[in-house]
Amino acid sequence: MSFLRDPKRFLATIIAGAAGLIILLDFAGAVPTIAVVSQLLLEWAALLAVLALLVGLLSVVGSHLRRVLNRQPDWIYSLALLLAMLVVIIFGTVIGPTSGGYTLFPSSLVEQPIRDIFHAVYEPLAASFLALLAFFSLSAALRALRRRTADALVIVIVAALALALSALPQLQTLPILGESIRWLSDYVALAGARGLLIGAALGAVVAGVRVLLGFDQPYLDR
């Protein structure tokens, strides 16, 4: 492998592989020494993740702040992003909940004000975007029917039956249609979902083994 000829890459691969092996051994069995080292490595990883998040936050702020100051195209969206970011940070660090409302400078970081912001702003926006998916799904179904293939026809029919069942629960009482839809949901759809999960799990295992053995090195700066 090429990284064996590069001492820096080889050392980084050894460190990454040893750290991953220690974490795996900690999950496999309760060994006090390995558990202590594993906990220390996880704390270091969490600290590095926080520092990376802080660096990314400063980079985003600097980039959008320059757009606002220079009045670049669509700078108003950058201003909205900066204001939203500032509000969330203030509500998470400066303002805290009390029995009668909110107070300034709480003793620790708080979550309830941020949850209130998400309930008031984020959830309605997410619901609106999800509602738009119905129109995209209808457009995709029409395009699939135009192709006039058997696979597209089966998918559209199954999707229509599932939507009808969810919209009209009375269809479940029908002797043939209700049982057919339940069979499709309990066996066909569930088998497909489990197949996707198993495939994703196997892919994660293969990717992890490749990282531990040094074939893939995402931690190195290319």
The values of phi and psi at residue 213, to 5°, are -85, -5
pLDDT recorded at residue 30: 66
The values of phi and psi at residue 6, to 5°, are -115, 110
CA geometry: angle at 156 spanning 129 and 169, to 5°? Answer: 75
Q: What's 67's DSSP letter? A: H
Sequence ranges of the domains in the chain: 1-72, 73-147, 151-222
Q: What's 95's DSSP letter? A: E
CA distance 145 to 137: 12
pLDDT recorded at residue 102: 60
CA distance 53 to 107: 23
Contact at 8 Å (CB) between 212 and 17? Answer: yes
Does 29 have pLDDT greater than 70?
A: yes
HEC-encoded secondary structure of 105-117: CCCCCCCHHHHHH
Q: For the segment 148-177, what is each residue's pLDDT rounded down to a tens digit? A: 777 777 777 777 766 776 677 676 677 776
pLDDT recorded at residue 59: 92
The DSSP code sequence of 19-42 is HHHHHHHHHHS--HHHHHHHHHHH
CA geometry: angle at 147 spanning 142 and 153, to 5°? Answer: 70
More confidently predicted of 59 and 101: 59
The DSSP code sequence of 125-152 is HHHHHHHHHHHHHHHHHHHHHHHT-HHH
